[in-house]
Structure 1
Amino acid sequence: MPYLLRPALLTDAPAVTELLNTVDEIEIGRRETDLHTVEADLKRPDIDLARDSWLVFDGDLLVAYGLLWDDSGDERIDVDHYVLPEHQAGGELILETMRVRALEQARANGAGRAVVHLHLNAEPTLDTSLIERRGWSVVRRYHVLERALDPATDLAPGLPDGVRIRPCATDADRECVYRLYQASFAEHFDFQPRSYEQWLNDVYAAGALDWSLVWIVGTEELGDVGFLISRDDREAMGWIRSIGVLREGRGRGLGGLLLRHAFAVFAGRGRETVGLGVDTANATGAPQLYRRNGMTLHYAVDTWEVTHN
């Protein structure tokens, strides 16, 4: 029986979640995909499911899934691709339609080419020879780190004189976190400048955000210089989505204070594990910071890139 290729519907979210958890089990040894996260992806306001999503079925079994979105408004296009290992031919069906759609979107943005990024586990279920022969190559590696938590020992850190950590409690605080994010991440690989409204859409896209789990760090001398955004809606673990400190605030231990503050809050909420992702080539010292604070490798993710003209 030939494969069936069609766009996704919101009602397909449970089947997509099951596929992604099957891939999780193969790639990282446990199921870590939540239904609400898949639903949030399918509901993104910048995605037209009829053109930007793909499902491949073998009979009634969903065997491959693809999604495309455009954060840059220019040539950069992002995609997801998941496939069961024994159905590579089904996954391959998505690659060509994804290529056509990525170039169409980039040209609609006024760009002459599409530079497409795909994040894959370092040992993926996808046969990477299928994308290598289409011109894809690895341009970056990320590590997903994790750390066990203990409410008896993961206590709120003592703050040095002149240092404060406060929750993101007001609209003004949210705008402050936005400015700190844009400034502290501006030199990072894959950073895309966003308006405040776009950034809010981004932080809400992965699901409801509890702003009490977002903190700002500052000093009397420098004012607000850093932030940490975390979330507690993932079944597998508490999650630190992003942490940043302005250049002028680095080297003062502020990132470590934010981390340990988050560890204490998650431990107090009954979480046993906390995780985050980091660019292994990050030049701000983030990988070293995380190691010093007890975080260890869970799995690795590669960023693959291809240019379509």
Structure 2
Amino acid sequence: MPYLLRPAALTDAPAVTELLNEIDRIEIGRPETDLHTVEADLKHPEADLAQDSWLAFDDGRLVAYALVWDDSQGERIDADHYVLPDHQRAGELLLEALEGRALERARANGAARAVVHLHLNAAPTTDLAMLRGRGWSVVRRYHVLEREVRAGADLPPRPPSGVRVHACADEADRARVHALYQTTFAEHFDFQPRGYEQWLHDVDGDRIDWSLVWIVTVEGIGDAGFLLARDDREAMGWIRSLGVVREARGRGIGGLLLGHAFAAFAARGRKTVGLGVDTANATGAPRLYARNGMSVHYAVDTWEITVA
């Protein structure tokens, strides 16, 4: 029987979440996808679900899902793609669709080609031979790290002289965090500049607890770093991003921010805190996280294809 393909709708979020958690169990041994995360993806302002999303069904069962969105307004297009192991043909059909749509999006931006990025577990359910046969290749590896925390043991560290840490309290502070993010992540691989409203959508600003977002101010420098964490993942507390401006690096700012996050999550009764890091990060982030007790949970690869 051929697969039934159709676009996704926001009402499909529960079914997509169930599919992704089934894939999580295969790839990392436990479900770690939350419904609100899938809903945020399906509501992405740079994705038109009618044209940029695909679901594949086998006899009524959802077996594959894909989504394309355009943050760059140029040739760089992003995609998600998930497929159950026994349904690789469905996965290939969705890859064909997303590659073609990515080129349409890039050409609409005035580009002659699309450079598409896709993140997959390092040992994914997707057939890697099929992926490579279509011209995809790995261009980067990320690690998802985790650390156990414990109330009473993980306490907020005391800032050194001339350094102040405070939680994000109002709209002005949110704007400061956005500015720090744009500055500190500009040199990172695959960084896409984002306006304030775009960034608020990216971090799901309507849902996160802003008391878990901290700004560090250093005497003589001013705003020197930030950490944005969130406590809406069922599996663990999550540190979404941490950045320190170049002139303040090497002063322990990153470790100070991590300590505040670990303490806050421990006080809330969390047992584990996680984050993702580029293994080729040039700022020394992997070493920072290792020094602060974080270890590898699993690896994720960035796959790339150029479609012209």
- TM-score above 0.5: yes
Q: Could you list the runs of 5+ residues in structure 1 that have no partner in the other structure?
A: none
Measured in 1, the distance between the counterparts of 2:196 and 2:39 equals 23
Residue in structure 1 matched with residue 95 of structure 2 by the alignment: 95
Measured in 2, the distance between the counterparts of 1:195 and 1:156 equals 32
| Deviation >3 Å, runs of 4+ | none
Q: Could you list the runs of 5+ residues in structure 2 that have no partner in the other structure?
A: none
Corresponding letter in the other structure for 2:270:
R
Measured in 1, the distance between the counterparts of 2:145 and 2:252 equals 20
In terms of mean alpha carbon deviation, does 231-240 or 149-158 score higher? 149-158
Measured in 2, the distance between the counterparts of 1:18 and 1:199 equals 27
Residue in structure 2 matched with residue 62 of structure 1 by the alignment: 62
Q: Does 1:269 align with 2:268?
A: yes
Give, in angstroms, the shift of residue 28 of structure 1.
Answer: 0.3
Q: Does 1:191 align with 2:229?
A: no
Measured in 2, the distance between the counterparts of 1:12 and 1:173 equals 35
SS of corresponding position for 1:262: helix
Cα deviation code 1:219-240 (max 9, x no counterpart): 1221111000000000000000
How many residues align? The count is: 308
Residue in structure 1 matched with residue 109 of structure 2 by the alignment: 109
Measured in 1, the distance between the counterparts of 2:12 and 2:197 equals 28
Measured in 2, the distance between the counterparts of 1:13 and 1:180 equals 32
Cα deviation code 1:62-98 (max 9, x no counterpart): 0000011111011100000000001101111101111
Give, in angstroms, the shift of residue 209 of structure 1.
Answer: 1.7
Give, in angstroms, the shift of residue 307 of structure 1.
Answer: 0.4
Residue in structure 2 matched with residue 118 of structure 1 by the alignment: 118
Residue in structure 2 matched with residue 81 of structure 1 by the alignment: 81
Residue in structure 2 matched with residue 298 of structure 1 by the alignment: 297
Matches for 1:194-213 after TM superposition, within 5 Å: 194-204=194-204, 208-213=207-212
Corresponding letter in the other structure for 2:228:
I
Give, in angstroms, the shift of residue 40 of structure 1.
Answer: 1.4
Corresponding letter in the other structure for 2:222:
G
Measured in 2, the distance between the counterparts of 1:269 and 1:142 equals 28
Give, in angstroms, the shift of residue 145 of structure 1.
Answer: 0.1
Matches for 1:1-309 after TM superposition, within 5 Å: 1-204=1-204, 208-309=207-308
Cα deviation code 1:186-213 (max 9, x no counterpart): 11000001122221221227x7121111
Cα deviation code 1:266-289 (max 9, x no counterpart): 000111100000000001010000
Cα deviation code 1:142-163 (max 9, x no counterpart): 0000000111210010111111
Measured in 2, the distance between the counterparts of 1:109 and 1:169 equals 38
Measured in 1, the distance between the counterparts of 2:172 and 2:43 equals 27
Give, in angstroms, the shift of residue 57 of structure 1.
Answer: 0.4
Give, in angstroms, the shift of residue 47 of structure 1.
Answer: 1.4
Measured in 2, the distance between the counterparts of 1:182 and 1:154 equals 30
Give, in angstroms, the shift of residue 45 of structure 1.
Answer: 2.1
Corresponding letter in the other structure for 2:246:
R
Measured in 2, the distance between the counterparts of 1:11 and 1:283 equals 41
Corresponding letter in the other structure for 1:288:
R
Cα deviation code 1:44-73 (max 9, x no counterpart): 222111101100000111000001111101
Measured in 2, the distance between the counterparts of 1:23 and 1:265 equals 31
RMSD (Å) for aligned C-alpha atoms: 1.0
SS of corresponding position for 1:45: coil
Measured in 1, the distance between the counterparts of 2:233 and 2:20 equals 14
In terms of mean alpha carbon deviation, does 39-48 or 105-114 score higher? 39-48
Corresponding letter in the other structure for 2:94:
I
Corresponding letter in the other structure for 1:230:
A
TM-score (norm. length: structure 2): 0.98
Aligned-pair identity (%): 72
Measured in 1, the distance between the counterparts of 2:180 and 2:49 equals 33
SS of corresponding position for 1:37: helix
TM-score (norm. length: structure 1): 0.98
Measured in 1, the distance between the counterparts of 2:133 and 2:150 equals 47
